[in-house]
A and B are shown apart, each in its own frame.
Chain A
Amino acid sequence: MAAMAAASAGAALKDPLDFPAAKVGALSSRPLLAVARTGERLVAVGSRGVAILSDDEGKTWEQAAVPVQSDLVAVHFPTPTDGWAVGHDGVILHTADGGRNWQKQLDGRAALASFSRYYHEKGASQGEAMRAVEKNYGSGPSLPLLDVWFQDSQTGYAVGAFGILVATRDGGRTWEPWFERIDNPDMLNLNGVRGVGGQLFIAAERGVVFRYDAASGRFVKSETGYGGSFFGIVGSDKAVVAYGLRGSVYRSGDAGRTWSTIATGSESTISAGILDDKGSLVLVNVAGEVLVGDAGGDSLKVRPGWSGARASGVVVLADGKYLISSPAGLRIQAAQ
């Protein structure tokens, strides 16, 4: 209905939230801000609602049907068929067919009403959370969700700017605000969320990592000793690694209680990282370099990657090569 109203007004702005992404050409050269593997398939998402998928290890791509034109910045598939993507305008998209068709579960406009109602029903004790909702969504859907991670097809989390944290227990049919369930009074940007070794972590500003404490049902703050921003979490059973600004990497061998810094030899901001099938850590930075280390995260070695590209995401292909995403598109890079 909103779409029709906007269209009939003619000159009124077509809000990116109300119109499906345009079909575009040269798919692998689009600005792509995240890439993920789901079974045999690769899915990448990016600017203006573009989502693309490949069933032949990145050789050919086709465009998925996305109901919004918002910039998408993160994508995660807990199962081969179910996946979630998040991005600007506070959108959360869900696919049940491995990334071919996406449906909107939440956006910044709907969040204001739904979250206000949620806290209103919870009662007066939620004043602080109410203020957080008002602050974040009061002036429209201007804040992005920056990362999403699902533990399985039902339970998942999304984090975003100015402390936005939402969670679902029913595969995204309902999303709950978790403002009151994190020690984040300064409303730090929450840049990344990831489950590592059975634990759940959030990477945030000012060198803060939040760890989910199952007993209290809350994210608790863990100081790493670093002062800059972390953009994401990666790791294995052996170690948790937080990465961020200017090539900073911090490692914890005790599930995020204590942290130590790791020298990487690169000063470029690390934007994404994964644990590959062989148990190696693979990170990419905004200079287009690839940083590779073992599962323990004791050291990382800088490898030449896609020089000059501001890499935004990485997956490892079946033949061991890296598929790197960036605002300049995708590139397959031989591992060296």
Chain B
Amino acid sequence: MAHVTSHSDAMPVLTALNEFDRKGGSWLERMVFNNRLWLIAICALVTLVLGFQASRLGVSASYDAMMPQSHEFIRNYRAHAESLGGLGSSVRIVVRNTRGDIYQSQYLDVLRKINDKVFMMQGVDRSFMKSLWMPVVRWTEVTPEGYAGGPVMPDGYNGTPESIKSLRLNVARAGLVGSLVGTDQQSSMIFVPLLDHDPATGEPLDYKAFRDEIDSLRALESEGVEIHVIGFAQLVGDLIHGLGEVLTYFLYAALIAVLIISWYTRCWRSTLLVTSCSLVAVVWQLGLMKLLGFSLDPYSILVPFLIFAIGVSHGAQKMNGIMQDIGRGTHKYIAARYTFRRLFLAGLTALLADAVGFAVLAVIDIPAIRGLAAAASIGVAALIFTNLILIPVLLSYAGVSRSAAAKSLRSLEGEHPVVSWLGNFTMRRRAIVVLAVTAALAVAGWVVSLKLQIGDLDPGAPELRRDSVYNQDNDYITSHYALSSDQFAVIVATSPQGLINYETLLEMDRLEQILRELPGVQTTVSAGSLARTFTAAGFEGSVKWETINRDPFVVQDAINTVYNSNPELLNDDRSVSPIIVYLTDHKAATLSRVVETVQQFAAEHNSDERKFLLAAGTSGIEAATNIVVAKANRSMLLYVYLSVVVLCFITFRSWRAVIVAIVPLVVTTILCEALMVFLGIGMKVATLPVTALGVGIGVDYSLYLLTTQLVFQRQGHSLARAYRHALISTGKVVALIGVTLSAAVVTWAWSPIKFQADMGILLAFMFLWNMLGALILIPSLATFLLPTRKSVTSDSHTVVAQSHSEGLGLRWIPERRSAIPEEQPGCFQEASAGRQGVL
């Protein structure tokens, strides 16, 4: 890029505007700066339009979006979802009587009110809804006469002691205690299966509206009941609710960023300009998301933070450049153009590096993560306009305060104690110590990181904090109901009527027996094991006839009875039936044990007539997600590092430099995994993007620092001197970016949403540690890998590198190598000399 190397000639300090050649610079620069008002007008218009769109951007989350779409388990589930009633998304509403047990007419009346309201709610799969008031909940009993049964709520219930007595009897006969009735009989449950999409309109379920409706039920708590609600829809509703709170953290993040930048620049005018432009980028991003049909979900809500922080960092650089030019006396318009000329390409490359980190996320086949990747890419695209183009243009009008401009120049002189401290890491002895400590940390971190768990580690909803209402409700329900809500379903698929078959039922029963032996399995339920019990109904209730019989008529009878009493256990066609496994927890080890067991069974027992397929139920979906996450973690790391290596090589054209740039990132990645182990955070959908984001953004540091350092080295400066120069110029920016990014994301740590807090802590760690790694490790590694071949003896000038280093196009350096005579300081020092003349 010729404009950089020749910049001393092309960018003279011009105080008067009429001396400036408006036809200079690239076509892009001419187009932008010769039509400034147009550009600002267009940006204002775009901001208005997109701002309007952004205000209409909805928040949502869907059960579907969390599933790894093309995974075999999910495809199996999808293919049979219609036949698997009650195994999709659902909520459980537990209504506790605060005045005693449930056998009181007042309680039952309130329960009926709640039941009827829930029944009418949009999105409820009414045919599979269960509660004491639902006629589908029946008691069945094997009697000498065969099979007897009826609705648990007695026909003609009228609140009299007699009807309550028969309700009590029916509850006992139906064995509902522990499933639909609390073990202490003081509460009962309304099980509400949901349709993810409205069957009539195809519209996805509005989780927020649903959660608000559920919340309105709590008004009935004044009538002597207490309501506890768990289930994915409620969880998502809570998450969406939490998003509002998260947005307030955005204000804190913005405030912190403003403080950091204003501290750095000491100029309110430009600080506000930079932060506003970054906000404009966020507005554009949100508006574009709306236009492209996305909505904010608990994952993509975090993107604005990142975009804002990245925007602020890059904006600060632009400002820095302009300040120095203005400080030297250059007219603000010309200073803005110079800055644009110098920094547009560098900024673009850095943003592209960030984009790589985001783009790699798209390899993960989970819509929520892809949404995150898309949102981030859109945001980065917006940043190119707002921060690389709009900021210089606006600064060309606004300028910066004189005192700040003067200060920015002063800061280039002398040597800050931190700079000399960091600079010493190029000393061989210190470098060895640093490398040894790093190696020790890396090895220790790696050993710890081997214990990294996949999936969620805590009971309840790990998305939310332990003390959230949801998790308290979950604790109540877990402690008062026997059957866990961690359900893993194996799908049994046969040809039509294929379930009415001795062999199928026998195989189902066999798999259940194997599963029941596994640690972590509470119990299993399926048409197979129920058929056993119901077969006895055909033989006067004799215990000895609890069997799966070979006779087709006996099997037919048993299956009919199963269908009458548990319609969710097989479809009308008698071709699809779940084996529901109730798990004690949803730890990855428990899930993978079930998965492996079923896969082994399927390999031995699947035939043309019947197949045992994985998987359905919340835990089944989670098992698939875990598998995808574990696989994606490795492949994503591979891709992100591959792309970063390629990017670094294009920039540096030196494998040694690539190693110097990559090692700090690798160490940080390892330590981040170790930190996850220490903090008890599992590798899951939420934490998966952290590494990609951390590495993608973290490589910026190395790019900035190393390019500058290499320029100086290639001019013949000693490593120590080159590194010190790099520190004074870009090092400061690196530190600034590290601190700003960390400050922006660390505010998530206060989010009511646990996984956002996890992400915040981990990202803050990665941004900070990458920064420290770059500042400390790069000189130490360079000591051994990148020593200057020939040192310049005469080094009398104070080298002013700031404007240069920022102007480093990322691809120009190697070609310049031969162009810079080693003996002479070259054009760069001429430029410096020129500057000093100005001072």
Which residue among B507, B517, B544, B546 has the maximum number of chain A CB atoms within 10 Å of its CB?
B544
Q: Which residues of chain A are within 8 angstroms of B517 by Cβ–Cβ distance?
A: 24-25
B540 near A88: Cβ-Cβ < 8 Å: no
The interface bits of chain A over 302-331 (1 if a CB of B lies within 8 angstroms of the residue's CB, else 0) are: 000000001110000000000000110000
B401 beta carbon closer than 8 Å to chain A:
no
- Distance A139 CA – B506 CA, assembled complex (angstroms): 18
Chain A residues, Cβ within 8 Å of B596: none
The interface stretch among B66-74, B547-555, B690-698 is B547-555
The reply on A123 being an interface residue by CB < 8 A is no
Contact with B607, one of A11, A22, A286, A310 (Cβ below 8 angstroms): A11
Judge whether B543 is part of the interface by a CB distance below 8 angstroms: yes
Q: Which residue of A has the minimal Cβ distance to B605?
A: A11
Tell whether A13 is near chain B: CB-to-CB under 8 Å: yes
* Residues B144 and A16 in contact, CB atoms below 8 Å apart: no
How far is B105's CA from A34's CA once the two chains are assembled, in angstroms?
Answer: 44
Question: If A13-B506, A88-B547, A327-B546 touch, does A48 touch B513 (CB 8 Å cutoff)?
Answer: yes
Bound-state CA distance A143–B146 (Å) is: 19
B544 touches A89 (CB 8 A): no
Asked if A235 is at the interface (CB within 8 A of a chain B CB), the reply is no
Q: Judge whether A228 is part of the interface by a CB distance below 8 angstroms.
A: yes
Cβ contacts under 8 Å, B533 to chain A: 327
Question: Is B513 within 8 A of A24, CB to CB?
Answer: yes
Contacts of B551 in A (CB 8 A): 139, 142
CA–CA, A65 and B532, complex, Å: 24
Interface footprint category on A: 35 or more
Contact A10 B547 (CB under 8 A): no
Asked if B8 is at the interface of the complex by the 8 Å CB criterion, the answer is no
What CA separation (Å) do A143 and B614 show in the bound complex? 34
Binary contact track A230-251/B, C-beta < 8 Å → 1, others 0: 0100000000000001100000
A20 to chain B: closest CB distance in Å? 14
Q: Does A31 contact B (CB under 8 A)?
A: yes
Closest to B519 in A: A25
- Please tell me if the beta carbons of B543 and A10 are within 8 angstroms of each other in the complex: no
B19 touches A (CB below 8 Å): no
Q: Which one, B539, B547, B549, contacts A47 given CB within 8 A?
A: B547
**Residues of A close to B507: CB separation below 8 A:** 13
Which residues of A are found within 8 Å of B606, using beta-carbon distances?
Answer: 11
**Is the CB–CB distance between A89 and B144 below 8 Å?**
no
Complex Cα spacing A142 to B550, Å: 5
Are B542 and A10 touching (Cβ within 8 A)?
no
Any A CB within 8 A of the CB of B503: yes
Q: How far is the CB of A336 from chain B (nearest CB, A)?
A: 23
Interface flag for A229 (CB, 8 Å): yes
Which B residues are in CB contact (< 8 Å) with A12?
607
Residue of B nearest to A10 (CB): B604
**B550 contact from A31, A141, A146, A245, Cβ within 8 A:** A141
Cα distance, A311 to B546, chains bound together (Å): 13
How far, in whole Å, are A24 and B512 apart by their CA atoms in the complex? 12
Q: Please, how many angstroms separate the alpha-carbon atoms of A24 and B516 in the complex? A: 10
Contact of B546 among A22, A47, A146 (CB under 8 A): A47
**A140 CB-CB contact with B under 8 Å:** yes
- Beyond A11-B607, A88-B549, A142-B550, whether A245 also contacts B513 by CB under 8 A is no
Residue from the list B144, B532, B545 in contact with A228, Cβ < 8 A: B144
A residues less than 8 Å from B379 (CB atoms): none
A269 beta carbon closer than 8 Å to chain B: yes
A13-B503, A246-B144 known; A140-B543 Cβ under 8 A: no
| Bound-state Cα–Cα, A231 to B543, Å | 10
Chain A CB within 8 A of B541 CB: yes
Inter-chain contact A11/B608, CB cutoff 8 Å? yes
Q: Compute how far the CA of A310 lies from the CA of B545 in the bound complex, rounded to whole angstroms.
A: 12
User: Which residues from B are CB-within-8-Å of A22?
Assistant: 513-514
Binary flags per residue of B123-154, CB closer than 8 Å to A gives 1, else 0: 00000000000000000000010000000000
- In the complex formed, the residue of B with least CB distance to A229 is B540
CB pair A271 B540 closer than 8 Å: no
Q: Is A33 part of the contact surface with B, judged by Cβ < 8 Å?
A: yes
Measured between beta carbons, the chain B residues less than 8 angstroms from A89 are 550
Q: Which residues from 599 to 628 on chain B have a C-beta closer than 8 Å to any C-beta of chain A?
A: 604-608
Residue ID in chain B nearest A29 by CB atoms? B516
The reply to whether A146 and B544 form a contact with Cβ atoms under 8 Å apart is yes
- Residues facing B in A191-242 (CB within 8 A) are 191, 228-229, 231
A82 at interface, CB cutoff 8 A: no
CB distance from B607 to the nearest CB of A (A): 3
> Closest 10 interchain pairs by CB?
A11-B607, A142-B550, A73-B544, A312-B543, A142-B551, A245-B144, A71-B547, A13-B503, A88-B547, A310-B543
B contact set with A: CB distance below 8 Å:
144, 503, 506-507, 509, 513-514, 517, 532-533, 539-547, 549-551, 554, 604-608
> Would you give 8 A-B contacts (Cβ < 8 Å), ordered by A?
A11-B607, A13-B503, A13-B607, A22-B514, A141-B550, A229-B540, A245-B144, A327-B543
- 20 more A-B residue pairs beyond the given contacts A13-B507, A89-B550, A191-B544, with a C-beta to C-beta distance below 8 A: A10-B604, A12-B607, A16-B506, A22-B513, A22-B514, A33-B544, A33-B546, A73-B544, A88-B547, A141-B550, A144-B544, A144-B545, A228-B144, A229-B540, A245-B144, A269-B540, A312-B544, A327-B533, A327-B543, A327-B546
Enumerate chain A interface residues (CB-CB to B < 8 A): 10-14, 16, 22, 24-25, 31, 33, 47-48, 71, 73-74, 88-89, 139-142, 144, 146, 189, 191, 228-229, 231, 245-246, 269, 271, 286, 310-312, 326-327
